[in-house]
Amino acid sequence: MERQPADFRSDTVTQPTPRMLEAMVSAKVGDDVLGDDPTVAELERCFADLFGKEAALFMPSGTMANQTAVAAHTVPGEEIIVDAGAHIFQFEGGGLSRVAGVHLRTLDTENGQFSFGSLARSIRPISEHMPRTGMICTEQSHLFSGGTIVPIDYLEEVYGLAHHHGLVVHMDGARLFNAQAETGVDFADYGKFCDSLMISLSKGLSCPVGSILMGDGSFIERSRRIRKWLGGGMRQAGYLAACGLVALDETAPMLAEDNARCRRLGGAILGINGVRMAQTTIDTNILFLEITAPGLDAPMVEAALADEGILTLALGERLLRFVTHRHITDADLDRAVSALQSVLKA
């Protein structure tokens, strides 16, 4: 029997658990667009309570949730401050300009953290000749620095600076649960230092579809209207929301194991010639490698590893990404290390 590939491309490849499938079959549903799906309502209530927010909105995707949040907080022509490597800027199809009509000011960060000096200088003075600064975006964990955990005291300082200047803060918390598994910080404390936040259910939490957007009641009402503009209303969405309720109890407690496996993988790869870590730490479940072997680049190594049954993702000429999740076993780590050694020796 042919062995299944070990899929390190992303934690979005995770499949729902048997408990999730059972919950989908037995879910009580209504028409969520009409506001009467009880399972969706329960999921939204659970997440809002968990993060200390007034309300929540079940969304089809994290990208839609992020784009909705920016559009709900701003008016066209305002400027938002984002990390130059942030998912909301780099990997959401240019939606910020198309959906919200906002002007962007991008700043470089170190492991997802703005320099407070550059952040403060980037907030515009009031002038009819300049766009008004309206929002600062943060990200937890920070994808492009390798799933780095952004410290809670830093998030508190950003929030304080923003509110001092009359700005709002939106947090892209797609993998916040992976970060929280390491920090132990209360979810409500994360919620305290942003005006809105998004959580992805379809990454390490293993739900098939969906994200949750949270904030105060008026923000969620505006977001509901924007979700409608984007065609994001779903009818018997409780079948999907049921998986999110299971995830809180079943898969969320497993995320620390995913993080630990990623650190083990990074440690094993340290001794392989022709590759090096492209990040300073392995905080969560993401590992970026730089291909240094002469005559090879990341797409070539990706293709060669696929032939060995190891699926990865090349992000540029030299960068190769591995993401661990609940379908990755210790044996898969050993296979990945062995395959990488073989490819780089060839």
Give pLDDT tens digits for 183-206.
999 999 999 999 999 999 999 999
- Give the tens place of pLDDT for each residue, 53-67: 999 999 999 999 999
Structure tokens at 203: 């990454």
73 closest CA partner among 142, 166, 179, 206: 166
- Give the tens place of pLDDT for each residue, 141-161: 999 999 999 999 999 999 999
Range list for CATH 3.90.1150.10 in the chain: 253-345
Answer whether residue 309 shows pLDDT above 80: yes
* Local confidence band at 1 (pLDDT 50, 70, 90 cut-offs): low
Average pLDDT over residues 244-253: 98
Answer whether residue 40 shows pLDDT above 60: yes
* Local confidence band at 346 (pLDDT 50, 70, 90 cut-offs): low
- Give the tens place of pLDDT for each residue, 207-221: 999 999 999 999 999
Give the number of C-alpha atoms closer than 13 A to the C-alpha of residue 169, restricted to the C-beta side: 24
Tell me, what's the pLDDT at 3? Answer: 81
Percent of the chain with pLDDT over 70: 99
Answer whether residue 264 shows pLDDT above 70: yes
* Local confidence band at 271 (pLDDT 50, 70, 90 cut-offs): confident
Range list for CATH 3.40.640.10 in the chain: 18-249
Per the listing, tokens 């999110």 go with 244
Average pLDDT over residues 274-294: 96
Structure tokens at 100: 């919200």
Whole-angstrom distance, CA of residue 337 vs CA of residue 310: 10
Whole-angstrom distance, CA of residue 314 vs CA of residue 106: 24
Tell me, what's the pLDDT at 195? Answer: 98
Phi (first) and psi of residue 273, to 5 degrees: -75, 145
Q: What is the mean pLDDT of the chain?
A: 97
Classify domain 253-345 by CATH number.
3.90.1150.10
Average pLDDT over residues 169-174: 98
* Local confidence band at 2 (pLDDT 50, 70, 90 cut-offs): low
Answer whether residue 105 shows pLDDT above 60: yes
**DSSP codes joined into one string, 167-203:** -EEEEE-TTHHHHHHHH---HHHHHHT-SEEEEESSS
Percent of the chain with pLDDT over 90: 98
Domain 18-249, what architecture?
3-Layer(aba) Sandwich (3.40)
